[in-house]
Amino acid sequence: MQGSNVDVGHQLAAAATRFGFEIDAAAVERVRLLLGLWHRFGRAFNLSGATDEAGLLGHVLEGLQVVGLAHAIGWHAGQSWIDVGSGAGFPGLVVAACLEVQVTLVEPRERRASFLDLAINQIGRRDCRVVRGHIEGSSWRPIKAGEIVAASSFDWASARAVFAPEVWVELGKRWVKSGGVVVAHVRAETDPFTGEVGRVDDARWSIRGVRGG
């Protein structure tokens, strides 16, 4: 993984340009650290079916599409972002690596949540947090007592491969503030959602932003 850092940097920069933004050196370094962690701990923590560099990089590039959407719509430093069902951290960890937003990563499984904690610390984003639990409509059901997540309190909400896109768009609207954005992963040919305010397309996925509230 380390031997291909230069090539990875070029691929990240090229993808970011394709998705409409420039990735800075600090973000590239954070993503490199994440790639190393995913490669090192993927099997032990049962993180993802992809364990080789090419497969992991594909997930990262999809995360960069989400970052591109945030740039296209207009993100601001210090905003809040919830990533539901974070799993291995796609796209939540990529967002944390590239944007100065306060990310809440929701993951019910203990081993994956432990990995997310490790990754957040390794990339120096201690202003982000990992919580274990489930969202059910507008309700939060924690697994660990004392961890509180409030509906209608986030500027951005994402969930990858957790809900059907149309279900997630309606559910996500309950978790963003008035005017917040729900991020959905859909096929490119999918019709626009009501309230859609932006999209970033690639060969496999179209990342859509839908205004809540």
Q: How far apart are CA 134 and CA 8, in angstroms?
A: 34
Please choose, from the candidates 168, 137, 162, 133, the residue with its C-alpha nearest in 3D space to the C-alpha of residue 151.
Answer: 137
Residue 154 assigned as binding residue: no
Answer yes or no: is 196 a known binding residue. no
189: left (phi > 0), else alpha (psi -120 to 50), else beta?
Answer: alpha
204 in Cβ contact with 195 (< 8 Å): no
23 annotated to bind ligand: no
**Which single residue is written with the structure tokens 């990529």?**
94
Q: Is 110 among the annotated ligand-binding positions?
A: no
Q: Are 16 and 68 in contact, with CB atoms under 8 Å apart?
A: yes
* 3 assigned ligand-binding residue: no
Alpha-carbon span 4 to 189, nearest angstrom: 35
The binding site consists of: 85, 90, 135-136, 160
The binding site for S-adenosyl-L-methionine consists of: 85, 90, 135-136, 160
